[in-house]
Structure 1
Amino acid sequence: MATLLSQPHGEAIGYSFTQPTSVPNKEHSFYPYTDNGGSTLGITGSNFAILAGDTRSVAGYNINSRYVPKVFKIGGDDETGEGAHILLSVVGFAADGQALKERLDAVVKMYKYQHGKSMSVGACAQRLSTILYQKRFFPYYVHAILAGLDEDGRGALYSYDPVGSYEREQCRAAGSAASLIMPFLDNQVNFKNQYIPGSGEGHALEPKRADPLSRETVEELVRDAFTSAVERHIEVGDGLQMMVITSGGIEEIYYPLKKD
């Protein structure tokens, strides 16, 4: 008691819980996203479009599953996707990808029920952009690619960023190995920096035109792209899921990839 009374005048007694300590304050937070790895790519032709993706799902250095599809049929009549005429690939956070796929699928089906006709791939591309933009403050953590046939029967491919910006392209890669696959596609599909031999003198050569490739050539390029990617990237592998959309419908093809 005498000690308490002997405190210097005006000096507070140290009973406050706000006194500084040697342990720093810790901020408690929740991060809702994770990257489940994998890669996808799309290539169009004169009368077809192909979307493909590997089937590995990872979390860091752990493999969650060796068969998680990343390419889906949109607007089908039942769970098998029969009657679908649009393809969607999603890579990034698998839960967001599944949610986005189900929402777009419901929109396309509702359009058909209300209007008595199928939604065009161009209209679906715009609708997907709107869906992504509506979630721009808490976005779907995915890179989406949409494919189908346009009104003229030509292959159409649309690539997106997570908040809805999109453009129509002839080819696009997304996901973990995009930086490995996209330069290959630029060279083999877009013919970037390729010239016709003997078309001029010195550097005045005529560039090669990026004409649509045949289906057989595109399927071979897709296999080569993923075979190369699995050699260099641990988040890509196990299986290659390829879907080809033509005027006759959608065909699904599966190829095994490296599992190590």
Structure 2
Amino acid sequence: MASLMNVGPIASDQPSYSFANTSAPNEASGHRQHGFYPYTDNGGSTLGITGKDFAILAGDTRSTSGYSINSRFVPKLFKIGDDGEQSSRIVLSVVGFAADGNALKERLDAIVKIYKYQHGKPMSVKACAQRLSTILYQKRFFPYYVHAILGGIDEDGQGALYSYDPVGSYEREQCRAAGAAASLIMPFLDNQVNYKNQYIPGSGEGLALAEKPKESLPRDIVLGLVKDAFTSATERHIEVGDGLQIFIITKEGIEEQIVPLKRD
């Protein structure tokens, strides 16, 4: 027993603590592995609504990283194919990772301008929507970390709106919200624009009530819905606020409006 307890003096050059819980590499723990995550979410929200002869896209101007505000004016809406000679009729909104959004915008804008120079006419919003889908799909193994919405005026003069997932799947819709406050805004749009859970009074009893048919809303009503949606979202979401950028697309061109939002 005495021999077991007699361990001898501790050398002065040896530490009195253990390296077991540190990140230094050793034979027991192996080499330290460094992680790399290339994406971040810069907050904000966008939405789009179409009408009979117009399309409206809107997005807030706040840029965040977690609980920090990077900037109070970072646009999320961009004119596509605007070369100064003829006003653009296509708008792209991107929300998510701001760097990927800018890169996607630059690439699509260049393709639309090259198309015009090669063919002598502007690209249609339908063709632009298909081309954007191809761009996103080509990057599917390292995708653009954004939710894109494309709006414009189609060949029939009607408002067109296309929403995308990060790898290029898309569909044409009457309204769509994206970004941090999408879960707050989209139910509101479903009720007020798509008339979900709205029924015709006196059309029946209980489940026999007839649903209210969809219709194109006038521009002033849509503008009011857009402002109401973002005003309510800023009350509930810290990543949305500061300013509201609105693009109104018609056959005459694009009108831009800036509306102040909450700044706290």
TM-score (norm 1): 0.90
- Distance (Å, rounded) in 1 between the aligned partners of 2:59 and 2:247: 9
- Distance (Å, rounded) in 1 between the aligned partners of 2:80 and 2:204: 48
Residue matched to 1:34: 40
- Which of 196, 204, 207 aligns to 1:203? It is 207
**Structure 1 position 252 matched with structure 2 position 256:** yes
Distance 1:101 1:19, change over 3 A: closer
Structure 2 stretches lacking a partner, 5+ long: 1-24
- Distance (Å, rounded) in 2 between the aligned partners of 1:199 and 1:239: 43
Shift of 1:159: 0.1
Cα shift readout 1:217-250 (whole Å, capped 9, x = no counterpart)? 0000000000000000000000000000001110
- Which of 171, 184, 205 aligns to 1:167? It is 171
Residue matched to 2:224: 220
Residue matched to 1:20: 28
- Distance (Å, rounded) in 2 between the aligned partners of 1:147 and 1:174: 14
- Distance (Å, rounded) in 2 between the aligned partners of 1:49 and 1:129: 20
Cα shift readout 1:160-210 (whole Å, capped 9, x = no counterpart)? 000000000000000000000000000000000110101123331111011
Cα shift readout 1:4-58 (whole Å, capped 9, x = no counterpart)? xxxxxxxxxxxxx96326xx75321221110000000000000000000000000
Helix, strand or coil at the partner of 2:207: coil
Structure 1 stretches lacking a partner, 5+ long: 1-16
**Structure 1 position 100 matched with structure 2 position 108:** no
**Structure 1 position 63 matched with structure 2 position 65:** no
Helix, strand or coil at the partner of 2:206: coil
Residue matched to 1:234: 238
- Give the count of matched residue pairs: 240
Residue matched to 1:194: 198
- Distance (Å, rounded) in 2 between the aligned partners of 1:207 and 1:65: 44
Which residue identity does 1:109 align to in structure 2? K
Helix, strand or coil at the partner of 1:203: helix
**Structure 1 position 74 matched with structure 2 position 80:** yes
Shift of 1:83: 1.3
Shift of 1:144: 0.2
